[in-house]
Amino acid sequence: MARADLAAVPEARRDLRRLLRGWGRPGGAETAELLTSELVTNALVHTDDDAVLTAVVSPRGLRVEVRDFMARRPLLRAADPTDDTHGRGLVLVRSLADAWGVRPHRVGKSVWFELGAGAGR
């Protein structure tokens, strides 16, 4: 995804929707789509470089990873109640994903989440 190209967010959602067609209990694919759009948006808005989205469906569930090329780790913080647009993305990820985290790379990092196979039934 190109740097700061927020048009990539709906594209990523469409691609994930295609990947997850037929996957999941009611709401599972929608949760995956919401969390993916949060990670993609964060990568494009809060870094100065491109990002790479990887989504893998396996018998164990779904893993989505968004890699960017900035070493700065994302901050999980309470949202400012006076700001309707910022500070809630990682709180959503933490609340809705079965697991999530940040993996450092030699250059940059990946922020990832997993939804278990139970979310896919």
Written as tens digits, the pLDDT of the chain (121 aa) is: 665 567 777 888 888 888 888 777 668 888 999 999 999 888 888 777 788 999 999 888 999 999 999 888 776 666 555 555 555 788 999 999 999 999 999 999 999 999 987 654 4
Report yes or no on 22 lying in a domain: yes
Is residue 1 one of the residues assigned to a domain?
A: no
3 within a domain of the structure (yes/no): no
pTM: predicted TM-score of the whole model, two decimal places: 0.81
Task: Supply the range of the domain harboring residue 41.
Answer: 8-120
Helix (H/G/I), strand (E/B), else coil: 119: helix
- So what's the pLDDT on residue 109? 94
Distance CA 9, CA 23 (A): 21
The Cβ of residue 112 has, within 10 Å, a number of other Cβ atoms equal to 19
Cross-strand bridge partners of residue 51: 68
CATH number of the domain residue 96 falls in: 3.30.565.10
Distance (Å, rounded) from C-alpha 117 to C-alpha 2? Answer: 31
- Tally the domains of the chain: 1
